[in-house]
Structure 1
Amino acid sequence: MALTQLAKSRWQDYFDHVSKALPTKLVEVEVAGLGLGDQVEVDWLPLLGLSYDPKDDVLTVMVEGIEHNIWHPKQIHVDQDVESLHSMEVVDAAGEHHILLLKDPLRLPPPSEGSR
């Protein structure tokens, strides 16, 4: 895995591509800052998509039932390998860190013949 800082000029295309290509993942979103400490905003819900709107300068994390908006992001770092995005850290204008951790959902085995 490699930690990479994304250039702001790539944010919109990067998140459009990731949203289309990302398999179903669960996401935890933690926000950390001097004034608020560490707070979990989203606790392992299915990630529906990520988008960056350059006009409003907002990164939106869409999860089941919630939109987490990060206004005026200043830096975005992603932890990824060739096949998958593992985590992301976004620093906003107020200096708060929005940390997204991704994991595959738990796949349950098919029911056994005797339980049907």
Structure 2
Amino acid sequence: MNQQRSELAREEWREFFDTMTRNYEGAEVMVEVMNKDFGDLLGVEKLPLAYLEYDPKDDQFSIGVGGRDGRYPVVLRHVIDHPQRILTDTLQQGTVRAFDVFDAEGDQTIVTLYLTSVSSA
């Protein structure tokens, strides 16, 4: 798989994730955590994206999933405190986006967004 990875500057995080939320809200998302103590963990697989956000005041990155309908009535939230680096990939142009968030302890969270039936205007 040909991946183009680029690191986002910290001052771009908030706007980048606001844009990603607008473009991918409702798309299926997968969240994987690579924890140095516990190994690889699958946190979320193919749930609808509610939001992505970076809060500079609290220095937190959050992923919200679900909350869209009766099938997924509750928004589940995954939070990463004090993210250090964020890398972004385009895995398949126009259909799959992924990014990696690295925290202060060296753990890595991989978020993959699948743009399937959402049309762009």
Common topology (TM > 0.5): yes
Shift of the alpha carbon at 1:34? Answer: 1.6
For 2:61, give the aligned amino acid: L
Partner deviation per Cα, 1:50-87 (whole Å, 9 max, x = no partner): 01000000001010131110110000011137746611
Q: What one-letter code is carried by the residue in structure 1 that aligns with 2:45?
A: D
Query: Corresponding residue for 1:94?
Result: 105
Moved over 6 A (4+): none
Q: Aligned pairs, how many?
A: 107
Distance 1:8 1:93 in 2: 14
2:83 is aligned to: 73
The alpha-carbon deviation at position 21 of structure 1 amounts to 2.5
Matches for 1:1-116 after TM superposition, within 5 Å: 2-22=4-24, 24-64=26-66, 65-80=75-90, 83=94, 86-105=97-116
What TM-score, normalized by structure 2, do the two folds share?
0.78
Structure 2 CA distance for partners of 1:84 and 1:56, relative to 1, 3 Å: farther
Quote the sequence identity (%): 33
Structure 2 unaligned segments of length 5 or more: list them. Answer: 67-74
Unpaired segments ≥5 residues, structure 1:
108-116
Q: Is the 8 A contact 1:78 1:85 kept in 2?
A: no
Please report the RMSD computed on the Cα atoms of aligned residues, expressed in angstroms. Answer: 2.2
TM-score, with length taken from structure 1: 0.81
Aligned to 1:42, what secondary structure does the other structure show? strand
